[in-house]
């Protein structure tokens, strides 16, 4: 069993948000009633950026609030969407008069509540644009449009960073949304887990695997994958993620990519660095350069032991927006 | 069992170092033979700073190489000291002509190998000073000097940051060592674990606890504590760490502290934020302000599920050195 460092699980999210903001008093402020986090010094005269979703994926989203990235992050319960009312209030807080881009991971509840909030916010004369992030290649079921489509995972960090930089540069609402959609359209992610996370207060993980199994294509809420594949070493596990990404993305000799090697919770840095190493070697063999990268826990699933790889082909605009200054609790340069 | 993302465990540290440096090509360089990481652009005309020790504590130490912190970090195998030869070569690499401060956590092997290297390095006309970090209150056995003394844990991050800033300001060898020793003399840490870490390639953790037990005073190598205490909630667990710290440190109403709420590996941010929250409230009740803080995994023990709290009373000099700019993979402002 896995025990949690928790008080009453019902109080977990508000208490954790309080602790997080207390730890960043010069950067962040908390609106406790609607459970959203804002920059302590709100930005003026720029397109606002709000994101949010269920908790349990920290540092996403509140860890990315600050100059160069989000204005506001709104938190639901663990793995549950914030309500439409929360999203509405968070959207109002993000508005500085030039409209608000809402960055939404593609899950039914999140999409529904952000859409409702977007419609209602029109009553307050706030223009909104939704950028839907749906990078998880494992849930790509083709183009028939009947299902919920690909899930949103670690590419959210790139969308938030790139949109944040564009907004900071003074781009208008349509332009900020457009560059976010461009990232969402081309970034893809593959994830695997060796063990699932455990909900705070629960004693058992969300699922269990046999000792020789790997969950290939796992979701960040512990969604099971279509495939369980044999366990193998770090290089082999990396290849399991990279091969379908290379098959999907149209990368060529000479291309430069942004890569995120993302720990899903309980994966330690030695492990992530082995994945990063193999990724560098494999891409170098194909003539592809990792021009920019993040390696660490950025979009987690409680204490899941697993890793995801996200790849995005870089061009001059995306490289410039990625490199632009950012100052948030989880990302600073 | 806990499976690892690893190739041959014998190759783990060199492969992980390679992956880490490949992921930070603009900041870091690797000397593969002696397994140390340097700044890509070595500093000139300042006191050099080298640290190191066993692996498995990432981001310590290589994550703290860069302007404002370390010049060189040298890595042993998991939980094993680097050899005296490695330390010697790393010390030479850190030298820019003004001597080298060696920051050493208080463990028998580390102390021995850094001492030998310090003595040999005199043959190369490199002046060295050792700053010994021994902050772990749980291993304080009094003043008789017979035992190994307190272990070195998360206060190492503060020593590396403060010495790094002093060196960057141009302080001489004695002054850099002196401020490091001042931090080491007054910072104290308490740690607890709900479960132990698992060595890469092993299938079982270093120790197991009953469901109602907490290891209070655990070490970062999985050293057992003298005490096992009953499991309780996040506030109660925080109090278990804070009460002995407050008893030891002579803090008064009006004091300001630097606090590190350190995750030991598999502790997720929601959990750490609850600990941070309780810590803020308890100290505020005593009239003590947390003027600066870090909350996250800074000095880990593989995938141990646990947390430590480090407190250091701040004064003007320490606050200034802490606030000075730093640009490393794991700490940037």
Residues A192 and A120 in one domain: no
Cα radius of gyration (chain B): 19
Is residue B2 included in any domain, yes or no? no
Q: Between A316-323 and A173-186, two packed helices, what is the crossing angle to 10 degrees?
A: 110
* Assigned token pair, A114: 């952000």
Residues B41 and B149 in one domain: yes
Of the partner residues A7, A273, A300, the one whose CB lies closest to the CB of residue B19: A273
Mean residue pLDDT across chain B: 96
Of the partner residues B15, B23, B270, the one whose CB lies closest to the CB of residue A200: B270
pLDDT at A280 over 80: yes
CA distance A161 to A157: 6
Neighboring chain A residues of B20 at a CB cutoff of 8 Å:
269, 273, 276, 295
Residues A176 and A194 in one domain: no
Is residue A326 included in any domain, yes or no? no
Residues A30 and A178 in one domain: yes
SS3 B43: coil
Neighboring chain B residues of A13 at a CB cutoff of 8 Å:
270
What is the tens place of the pLDDT at every residue in B148-161?
899 999 999 999 99
> Choosing from B34, B61, B199, B221, which is the catalytic residue?
B221
Active-site amino acid positions of A: 57, 221
Q: CA of A292: which chain B residue's CA is closest?
A: B23
Res B123: pLDDT: 79
CATH number (domain holding residue A242): 3.30.1180.20
Nearest Cα to A128, choosing from A140, A138, A137, A115?
Answer: A115
CA distance B133 to B140: 13
Inter-chain residue contact B270 with A58, CB threshold 8 Å = yes
Q: Which residues lie below 8 Å from residue A178, measured CB to CB, with a gap of 6+?
A: none
What is the tens place of the pLDDT at every residue in A1-48?
789 999 999 999 999 999 999 999 999 999 999 999 999 999 999 999
Chains A and B form CB pairs within 8 A to the count of: 182
Neighboring chain A residues of B191 at a CB cutoff of 8 Å:
none
Q: What string of DSSP letters covers B63-112?
A: GGBSTTSBSEEEEEEETSPPPHHHHHHHHHHH-SSS-EEEEEES-HHHHH
CA distance A111 to A117: 10
Length of chain A as a residue count: 333
What domain range is B163 assigned to? 10-186
Is residue B326 included in any domain, yes or no? no
Neighboring chain B residues of A284 at a CB cutoff of 8 Å:
none
Res A145: pLDDT: 67
Neighboring chain A residues of B271 at a CB cutoff of 8 Å:
4-6, 200
Residues B196 and B281 in one domain: yes
Neighbours of A52 (CB within 10 A): 31
> Choosing from B57, B61, B199, B305, which is the catalytic residue?
B57
Residues A105 and A206 in one domain: no
Average pLDDT rounded to a whole number, residues A129-135? 97
Residues B51 and B117 in one domain: yes
What is the tens place of the pLDDT at every residue in B197-222?
999 988 899 999 999 999 999 999 99
Residues A273 and A300 in one domain: yes
Of the partner residues B22, B268, B275, the one whose CB lies closest to the CB of residue A300: B268
**Four-residue CA torsion sign, A302, A303, A309, A311:** positive
Inter-chain residue contact B211 with A12, CB threshold 8 Å = no
Of the partner residues B13, B56, B233, the one whose CB lies closest to the CB of residue A6: B233
Nearest C-alpha of chain A: how many angstroms from B98? 30
CA A312 to chain centre: 14
**Phi and psi torsions of B227, nearest 5°:** -125, 135
pLDDT at B77 over 80: yes
* Assigned token pair, B83: 């050899």
Model pTM score: 0.97
* Assigned token pair, B304: 């141990």
Of the partner residues A5, A280, A295, the one whose CB lies closest to the CB of residue B274: A5
* Assigned token pair, B202: 């092993």
Residues B160 and B180 in one domain: yes
Overall domain count for chain A: 2
Neighboring chain B residues of A272 at a CB cutoff of 8 Å:
5, 19
Q: Beta partners for B203?
A: none
Of the partner residues A1, A233, A272, the one whose CB lies closest to the CB of residue B211: A1
Average pLDDT rounded to a whole number, residues A196-212? 92
Is residue A169 included in any domain, yes or no? yes
Contact of A304 with A193, CB cutoff 8 Å: yes
**Helix residue spans in A44-96 (DSSP H):** 84-94
User: The tokens 């709900």 sit on which residue?
Assistant: B194
Is residue B180 included in any domain, yes or no? yes
Residues B147 and B193 in one domain: no
Neighboring chain A residues of B6 at a CB cutoff of 8 Å:
233-234, 270-271, 274
Nearest C-alpha of chain B: how many angstroms from A260? 10
CATH number (domain holding residue A104): 3.40.50.10440
Inter-chain residue contact A7 with B235, CB threshold 8 Å = yes
Is residue A116 included in any domain, yes or no? yes
Res B302: pLDDT: 97
CA dist B113 → B76, B86, B109 (Å): 11, 9, 6
Q: Are strands A36-39 and A72-78 parallel, antiparallel or unpaired?
A: antiparallel
Res B257: pLDDT: 98
Nearest C-alpha of chain B: how many angstroms from A149? 29
Res A187: pLDDT: 98
Work out the burial of residue B273: count CB atoms within 10 Å of its CB; fewer than 13 is exposed, 13-18 middle, 19 or more buried.
buried
Res B145: pLDDT: 67
Neighboring chain A residues of B194 at a CB cutoff of 8 Å:
3, 5
Average pLDDT rounded to a whole number, residues A46-72? 98
CA distance A159 to A70: 10
Is residue A129 included in any domain, yes or no? yes
Q: Band of the pLDDT at B121, cuts 50, 70, 90?
A: confident
Q: Which of B8, B32, B266, B273 should we substitute to test contact with A (largest number of A Cβ atoms within 10 Å)?
A: B273
Length of chain B as a residue count: 333
What is the tens place of the pLDDT at every residue in B244-271?
999 999 999 999 999 999 999 999 999 9
Contact of B113 with B87, CB cutoff 8 Å: yes
Nearest C-alpha of chain A: how many angstroms from B4? 7
Res B143: pLDDT: 65
Report the phi/psi class of residue A99: left, alpha or beta, with left for phi > 0 and alpha for psi in -120 to 50.
Answer: left
Inter-chain residue contact A15 with B274, CB threshold 8 Å = yes
Q: Which of B270, B276, B293 should we substitute to test contact with A (largest number of A Cβ atoms within 10 Å)?
A: B270
Inter-chain residue contact A235 with B261, CB threshold 8 Å = no
Mean residue pLDDT across chain A: 96
**Phi and psi torsions of A126, nearest 5°:** -105, 120
User: The tokens 């730093």 sit on which residue?
Assistant: B326
Res A59: pLDDT: 98
pLDDT at A143 over 70: no
pLDDT at B34 over 80: yes
A98 secondary structure, DSSP code: S
Cis peptide before A26 (omega within 30 of 0): no
Asked if the interface predicted TM-score (ipTM) of this complex is over 0.90, the answer is yes
pLDDT at B117 over 70: yes
Res B280: pLDDT: 98
Nearest C-alpha of chain A: how many angstroms from B28? 14
Q: Which of A22, A213, A228, A269 should we substitute to test contact with B (largest number of B Cβ atoms within 10 Å)?
A: A269
What is the tens place of the pLDDT at every residue in B305-314?
999 999 999 9
Residues B101 and B168 in one domain: yes
* Assigned token pair, A59: 């540092």
Res B144: pLDDT: 65
Q: Write A29-35 long-range contacts (CB < 8 A, 24+).
A: A31/A89, A31/A90, A31/A93, A34/A74, A34/A85, A34/A86, A34/A89, A34/A90, A35/A74, A35/A75, A35/A76, A35/A82, A35/A86
Is residue A317 included in any domain, yes or no? yes
Report the phi/psi class of residue A211: left, alpha or beta, with left for phi > 0 and alpha for psi in -120 to 50.
Answer: alpha
Q: Band of the pLDDT at A226, cuts 50, 70, 90?
A: confident
Q: Band of the pLDDT at B92, cuts 50, 70, 90?
A: very high
User: A12-34 in b/e burial notation, b at 16+ Cβ within 10 A?
Assistant: bbbbbbbbbbbbbeebbbbbeeb
User: B190-203 in b/e burial notation, b at 16+ Cβ within 10 A?
Assistant: bbbbbbbbbbbeee
Residues A242 and A310 in one domain: yes
Q: Residue A290 belongs to what H/E stretch?
A: strand A289-296
Contact of A5 with B267, CB cutoff 8 Å: yes
Nearest C-alpha of chain B: how many angstroms from A194? 7
Q: CA of B266: which chain A residue's CA is closest?
A: A266
* Assigned token pair, A126: 């706030």
Inter-chain residue contact A19 with B200, CB threshold 8 Å = no
Inter-chain residue contact B269 with A16, CB threshold 8 Å = yes
Domain end marker among A186, A212, A246: A186
Average pLDDT rounded to a whole number, residues B98-117? 96
User: B298-320 in b/e burial notation, b at 16+ Cβ within 10 A?
Assistant: bbbbbbbbbbbbbbbbbeeebee
Q: Which residue has the higher pLDDT, A144 or B62?
A: B62
Q: Band of the pLDDT at A130, cuts 50, 70, 90?
A: very high
Res A144: pLDDT: 65
Inter-chain residue contact A20 with B269, CB threshold 8 Å = yes
CA distance A204 to A221: 15
Angle at A325 between CA B40 and CA B25, to 5 degrees: 20
Q: CA of B238: which chain A residue's CA is closest?
A: A5
Nearest C-alpha of chain A: how many angstroms from B178? 29
Contact of A256 with A312, CB cutoff 8 Å: no
């Amino acid at each position: 069993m896995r025990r949690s460092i928790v008080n009453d699980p019902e109080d977990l999210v508000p208490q954790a948000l309080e602790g997080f903001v207390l730890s960043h008093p010069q950067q962040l402020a908390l609106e406790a009633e609607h459970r959203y986090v804002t920059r302590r010094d709100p930005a003026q005269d720029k397109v606002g950026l709000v994101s949010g979703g269920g908790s349990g994926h920290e540092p996403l989203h509140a860890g990315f609030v600050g100059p160069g990235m989000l204005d506001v992050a709104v938190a639901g319960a663990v793995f549950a969407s914030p309500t439409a009312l929360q999203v509405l209030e968070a959207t109002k807080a993000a508005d500085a008069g030039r409209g608000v881009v809402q960055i939404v991971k593609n899950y039914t509840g999140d999409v529904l509540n952000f859409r409702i909030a977007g419609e209602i916010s029109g009553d307050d004369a706030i223009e909104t644009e939704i950028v839907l992030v749906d990078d998880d290649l494992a849930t790509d079921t083709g183009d028939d449009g009947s299902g919920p489509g690909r899930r949103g995972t670690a590419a959210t960090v790139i969308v938030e960073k790139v949109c944040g930089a564009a907004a900071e540069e003074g781009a208008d609402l349509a332009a900020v949304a457009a560059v976010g959609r461009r990232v969402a359209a081309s970034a893809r992610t593959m994830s695997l887990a060796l063990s699932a996370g455990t909900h705070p207060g629960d004693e058992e993980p969300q699922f269990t695997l046999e000792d020789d199994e790997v969950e290939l294509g796992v979701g960040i809420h512990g969604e099971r994958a279509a495939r369980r594949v044999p366990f193998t070493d770090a290089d082999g596990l990396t290849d399991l993620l990279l091969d379908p990404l290379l098959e999907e993305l149209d990368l060529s000799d000479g291309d430069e990519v942004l890569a995120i090697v993302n720990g899903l919770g309980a994966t330690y840095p030695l492990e992530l660095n082995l994945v990063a190493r193999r990724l560098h070697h494999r891409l170098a063999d194909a003539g592809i350069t990792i021009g920019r990268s993040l390696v660490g826990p950025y979009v987690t699933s409680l204490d899941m032991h697993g890793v995801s790889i996200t790849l995005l082909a870089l061009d001059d605009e995306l490289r410039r927006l990625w490199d632009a200054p950012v100052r948030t609790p989880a990302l600073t340069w």
